[in-house]
Amino acid sequence: MNAASQRTAFLALFSHYRRHPGQLAMLLVGLWVASALWSGVQAINASARDSYARAEALFSTGLDRIERRDGLPLTLDDYLSLRLAGAPVSPLVTGELELAGGSRLEVMGIDPLTLPEGSGFRTAGGTATLADFLQPPYRTRLAPDTLASLTEEDDTLPPLADGRQLPPLELAPELPPGVAVMDIAAALELLERDDLSRLLVAPEARLDLPQPLVRSAAENLAAPGQLTDSFHLNLTAMALLALVVGLLIVHAALSLTLEQRLGLMRTLRALGVSGRALVSLLLGELLMLGVLGAALGILSGVWLAQWLLPDVAASLQALYGERVGSELALPWHYWLGGLAVTLGGLLTAGLGTLWRAARLDVLGLGRAQAWRGQFLRQLRGMALAGGLLWLIAGGLLAWLERQPPAEGLTPGFVMIAAGLLGSALWLPPLLAMLLAALARLLRRRPLAQWALADLQLQLPRLSVAMMALLLALSANLGVGSMVGGFRLTFLEWLDQRLVADLYLRPPPARYEAAVDWLEARDEVATLLPRARAEATLLGSASSQRQPRPVNVYGVTPHPALTEHWPLLASQEDDASAWQAFARGAAMINEQLALATGLAPGQWLRLSSPTGPMELPIAAIYPDYGNPRGEVMLTAPHLSERFQTAPDSIGIVLDRQVAPGAIAALRRDLSQTLGIGGDSLIDQREIQRRSTEIFERTFAITRALNTLTLGVAGLALLSSLLAQTGQRRSQLAPLWALGVSRGPLVGASIAQLGGAALVTAALAVPLGLALTWCLVAVINVAAFGWRLPLHVFPGQIAATLGLAVGVALLAALLPAWRLWRTSPRTLLTEFDAL
C-alpha cells in the first residue's frame, strides 16, 4: 500500500470520530485523567526524593552524634575539652532565624576544618574558596529553591527581622531546602548563642565520653526518606489505582470505537486494505492519541502536584520532621517516565482491541450475538483469572500473618491489588449470571425480558465501566472509612492522653522552683510531671532478639491520668495494671509490642546509665502517630534510673477555675519565675495543632480518592453517552411496535440503575474488606500500629447514592433525549439503520 492510499484509509478510519466526537472525548479524557493523576503523584514523589537526596548528602553521611543526655545544649568547654583530649569531634550549631517579611530560615553553623574528610557538610559548597567561607564577612550557602522561597523578586537575601544582614550569598544547589549553612562563628553570632547543638564524629573514631554526654550511632539515626517510604508508597498505590481506573475507561472507549467501526473495517478489507495494514493504521491512531493524552495528562499532573505539594510538604514535616521543598524539582526522566507509562498503559488497554482487529473475520462482523459468544468465553476466563488473583491475595494474607510487622508493606499492597483486581474481574461474570437468572424469572413480562436480554448484549461494553466503578467505589469506601476511623480514634485518643489543661516546660535549672510555685497556687488541682530518656531494649537469653533503640517515657500515675488513659491489653484488668505500674512495672506501646512480640506478663531488659534493668510488662497502650517503640515508666522511676529530671509538667486546673485563670497564670509565671510564655502550652493548642497536622496529612489522600471516584463516574457517564445514538436505534423498533416512550425510558433507566446498584452493593463488602486490610495490615506494616475498624453507615449510604446517582444521570441524559425526540427524528434514525 502506498502512502496516499494509507492516508486515505487512515482518514476513513479516523472519520469515525467526526461522527462520534463523544467517543474521542471519552478516550482522551480517560488517557488524560489516568496520566494526570499518575504523573501528579510521581511529580510529588520525585520532588520529595530530590529533597531527601539533598538532605541525605548533608545529614547522614555516616556521622555519629554526640549530645547531652538531658537534651540541653553543649557548652564550648565541653567541646574544647574533648578536642584537647584528642577526640576528632566537630561542632555543630543549628537554630532558626526570622527574616524580614516573616519567613524563617534554619541555619546550620559548621566548622569545615574539623569535619571528617568527605563529609557532606564539608563538600556541600559553592564556588567560593574555603578561606572566604571561614573568614568575615563569611558566606551564606543555600539552595536556589530556598532562596526563591525567601525572596519575591530579586535574587538577594533579605535582612533579618531585626535589621541585621546575613553573610553574602553563595548558591549551593545540593543543599536541602530551607537550610542555610555557614561557618560556626557566623552562625553563633547571628543566633546570639555561645553554646553548641551537638558534636559530630566519624563512626570509626573511638571515644571516651564524660557521663553527661551520649553518642548516637549513625546507623541508628534513620536516613531521611527512609521513614517516609511508606507515605510515598501509599501515594503511589493511590496513583496506580487512578491509573488503572483511567485505563479501564480507555479500554472501554477503544472497544466501543472498534466495534462501531467493524463495518467500516470490513468495507476497507473488502476494498483491498490488508489486515496487517489495518492493524498498523489503528496502532498509529493509538500512538497519536496516546501522545496527545499523555501531554495533556503530564501538564495537568504537574499542575496538580504544584497544588498538592504544600500540603504534602507540611504533612511530611509534621509526621517525620522531613523538609521537602515546596517547589517541584523534576528530573528529565520524570517526563519520559510519564509518557512511557501512559503509552504503555494505552497499549495494554488497546492490545485486546488490536488483536481482535487483526483476527477479524471479514464476513462475521458487526454481529452482536457473535460478540456475545466470544464474551461468554471471555467471562469464563475472567472468573478464572479473578479466582487466581483471590488465591494469590489469600496466600499473601496467610503469609503476612506469620511475618514480623513493618516488613509487609509491599506484599500488603500487592495483596490488596490482587484482591481488588480479582473482585473487579468477577463483576462481569456475576452480572451475567444475575441477568440470566432474572431473565428466566421475568420470562412472562415481554418488556422486562427485552430489557434484560438487551442488557446482556450491552454487557461487554458496559462491564469495563462497571469494573472501574467497582474499583473506585470500594477504594473510596475503604480509604474513606480508614481515614474516618483514624480521625475518630486519633482525636479520641488525643483527648484521653491530654488530660492536663496546661503543659509547662521549665528550664531544667528552674524546675524545682516551678513545681513549688505551682503547688502553692489555688487554681492548680494536680501536677503531672513527665520525663523522657532514650535506652536500648536488650535481647534476653531466651529470645534471639536484636537490641533496638527505644524511647522511655515517664508519666505520673495519678487517677486524673490513669482513669482516661486507654490500654489495649493488660494481664488482668486495667486497674491492677496501673497498680503494678505505680509499683515499678513498665508499659509498652503497641509499636514495640508488635515489633518484638512482647506481651503483658513478660519481662523486658533495658539499658540505662545505672546499668541494665529488668521490668515486668503490665500493659500495652496505643500510641498513634508515633513511628518508634516506647517504654513507659513512672516519672520518678525514670528520673532515678536515667538520672534525668522531668522535662515537663502537666498542670490539671481546678474545675471551678475562672476563665481568665490561664492568662493570669501565664503572666505570674513569667513575672515571678521568669519563665517565658512560650514554655506554657495550652492543651487546646496542642489538640488544635495535632488536628491540623492530621487534616493536612489526609488532605492529599482525600483529594486523590475523590478524584478517582470522579474519574470512575466520568467513565460510566462517558461510556454510556458514547452509546446514546446506538441505544436510540435499539429502542426505535420497539417504539414502532407500539411501546410508548414512557415505558422505554423507564426500562433503560432501570437497566443502568439496576446494574449500578448491584455494582455499588458489591462495592460495600469489598470496601469494608479493603478498610480492614488498610488498618490491620498496611497500617501495621507502615507505622507499626493497628487501628480499630470503624464502619460509617452514613458514608456507605452516601457512596452508594453517588454511584446510583451517576448511573441514573448517565441513563437519564440519553433517556431525556429519547423523551424529547419527536417521533419523526426517531423514525429518521430508525430508517438510517
Ligand X SMILES: Nc1ncnc2c1ncn2[C@@H]1O[C@H](COP(=O)(O)OP(=O)(O)OP(=O)(O)O)[C@@H](O)[C@H]1O
Residues that bind other proteins (CB under 8 A): 367-370, 446-447, 449-450, 453-454, 456-457, 730, 732-742, 823-824, 827, 830-831, 833
Report what 597 binds from ligand X, other proteins, none; CB cut-off 5-8 Å by kind: none
Report what 273 binds from ligand X, other proteins, none; CB cut-off 5-8 Å by kind: none
Q: How are beta strands 179-183 and 104-110 bridged, if at all? A: parallel
109, 184 contact by CB (below 8 A): yes
**Closest by Cα among 237, 525, 165 to 156:** 165
Q: How far is the CB of 369 from other proteins (least distance, A)?
A: 4
701, 487 contact by CB (below 8 A): no
445, 743 contact by CB (below 8 A): no
Residue showing the smallest CB distance to ligand X in the complex = 828
Q: How far is the CB of 433 from other proteins (least distance, A)?
A: 17
**Closest by Cα among 31, 54, 86 to 206:** 86
Report what 824 binds from ligand X, other proteins, none; CB cut-off 5-8 Å by kind: other proteins
Report what 660 binds from other proteins, ligand X, none; CB cut-off 5-8 Å by kind: none
277, 9 contact by CB (below 8 A): yes
Q: How far is CA 681 from the centre of its chain?
A: 30
- What is the number of other CB atoms lying within 10 angstroms of the CB of residue 228? 22
Q: How far is the CB of 14 from other proteins (least distance, A)?
A: 25
Report what 453 binds from other proteins, ligand X, none; CB cut-off 5-8 Å by kind: other proteins
Report the residue number, 490 or 830, with the smaller CB distance to ligand X: 830
Report what 449 binds from other proteins, ligand X, none; CB cut-off 5-8 Å by kind: other proteins
**Rounded to an integer, what distance in angstroms lies between the CA atom of residue 529 and that of residue 93?**
29
Report the residue number, 271 or 370, with the smaller CB distance to other proteins: 370
Q: Angle at the Cα of 563 (from 562 to 566), degrees rounded to 5?
A: 75
Report what 376 binds from ligand X, other proteins, none; CB cut-off 5-8 Å by kind: none
Report the residue number, 730 or 771, with the smaller CB distance to other proteins: 730
Per-residue string for binding with ligand X, 770-809, x by CB under 6 A?
A: ----------------------------------------
Q: How far is the CB of 370 from other proteins (least distance, A)?
A: 7
Q: How far is the CB of 735 from ligand X (least distance, A)?
A: 16
- Return phi, psi of residue 293, to 5°: -65, -40
Q: Angle at the Cα of 287 (from 285 to 290), degrees rounded to 5?
A: 110
Q: How many CA atoms lie within 13 A of 119 on its CB side?
A: 22
Q: How far is the CB of 740 from other proteins (least distance, A)?
A: 3
**Rounded to an integer, what distance in angstroms lies between the CA atom of residue 165 and that of residue 543?**
59
Report the residue number, 568 or 827, with the smaller CB distance to other proteins: 827
Q: Angle at the Cα of 580 (from 578 to 581), degrees rounded to 5?
A: 60
Report the residue number, 162 or 831, with the smaller CB distance to ligand X: 831
Q: How far is the CB of 748 from ligand X (least distance, A)?
A: 24
Report what 331 binds from other proteins, ligand X, none; CB cut-off 5-8 Å by kind: none
Using the 8-state DSSP alphabet, how is residue 516 labeled? H
Report the residue number, 738 or 793, with the smaller CB distance to other proteins: 738
Q: How far is the CB of 36 from other proteins (least distance, A)?
A: 37
Q: How many CA atoms lie within 13 A of 232 on its CB side?
A: 20
Report what 738 binds from other proteins, ligand X, none; CB cut-off 5-8 Å by kind: other proteins
761, 389 contact by CB (below 8 A): no
**Rounded to an integer, what distance in angstroms lies between the CA atom of residue 504 and that of residue 686?**
12
Contacts of 478 (CB under 8 A, 6+ apart): 766, 767, 768, 769, 770, 771, 773, 774
Report what 454 binds from ligand X, other proteins, none; CB cut-off 5-8 Å by kind: other proteins
Q: How far is the CB of 361 from other proteins (least distance, A)?
A: 13
Q: How far is CA 670 from the centre of its chain?
A: 42
328, 43 contact by CB (below 8 A): yes
Q: How far is the CB of 832 from ligand X (least distance, A)?
A: 8
828 binds ligand X (CB under 6 A): yes
12, 264 contact by CB (below 8 A): yes
Report the residue number, 359 or 824, with the smaller CB distance to ligand X: 824
Report what 751 binds from ligand X, other proteins, none; CB cut-off 5-8 Å by kind: none
Using the 8-state DSSP alphabet, how is residue 778 labeled? I
Report the residue number, 461 or 786, with the smaller CB distance to other proteins: 461
Report the residue number, 612 or 823, with the smaller CB distance to ligand X: 823
Using the 8-state DSSP alphabet, how is residue 677 labeled? G
Q: How far is the CB of 822 from ligand X (least distance, A)?
A: 12
Long-range contacts of 691-699 (CB under 8 A, 24+ apart): 691/491, 691/494, 693/314, 693/315, 693/318, 693/319, 694/486, 694/487, 694/490, 694/491, 696/311, 696/314, 696/315, 696/318, 697/315, 697/318, 697/319, 698/483, 698/486, 698/487, 699/308, 699/311, 699/315
Report what 792 binds from ligand X, other proteins, none; CB cut-off 5-8 Å by kind: none
Report what 456 binds from ligand X, other proteins, none; CB cut-off 5-8 Å by kind: other proteins
- Helix ranges (H only) for 60-137 are 76-84, 120-123, 130-134
Using the 8-state DSSP alphabet, how is residue 180 labeled? E
**Rounded to an integer, what distance in angstroms lies between the CA atom of residue 760 and that of residue 797?**
10
**Judged by CB under 6 A, how many residues of this single chain contact ligand X?**
2
Q: How far is the CB of 781 from other proteins (least distance, A)?
A: 49
Contacts of 747 (CB under 8 A, 6+ apart): 447, 448, 450, 451
Q: How far is the CB of 831 from other proteins (least distance, A)?
A: 8
- What is the number of other CB atoms lying within 10 angstroms of the CB of residue 151? 14
Report the residue number, 319 or 455, with the smaller CB distance to other proteins: 455
Report what 739 binds from other proteins, ligand X, none; CB cut-off 5-8 Å by kind: other proteins
Q: How far is the CB of 256 from other proteins (least distance, A)?
A: 17
268, 12 contact by CB (below 8 A): yes
Report the residue number, 335 or 450, with the smaller CB distance to other proteins: 450
Q: How far is the CB of 733 from ligand X (least distance, A)?
A: 17
Report what 129 binds from other proteins, ligand X, none; CB cut-off 5-8 Å by kind: none
410 binds ligand X (CB under 6 A): no
Q: How far is the CB of 476 from other proteins (least distance, A)?
A: 33
Report the residue number, 522 or 831, with the smaller CB distance to ligand X: 831
By CB under 6 A, the residues from 465 to 524 that bind ligand X are: none
Question: Mind giving me the DSSP string for 153-176?
Answer: SSSSPPPBTTSPPPPPEEE-TTSP
Q: Residue 620: beta bridge partners?
A: 569, 588
348 binds ligand X (CB under 6 A): no
Report the residue number, 132 or 829, with the smaller CB distance to ligand X: 829
Report what 358 binds from ligand X, other proteins, none; CB cut-off 5-8 Å by kind: none
Report the residue number, 247 or 826, with the smaller CB distance to ligand X: 826
**Rounded to an integer, what distance in angstroms lies between the CA atom of residue 652 and that of residue 655?**
9
Report the residue number, 56 or 829, with the smaller CB distance to ligand X: 829
Report the residue number, 706 or 828, with the smaller CB distance to ligand X: 828
- Please give the residue ranges that form the binding site for ligand X (CB under 6 A): 828, 831
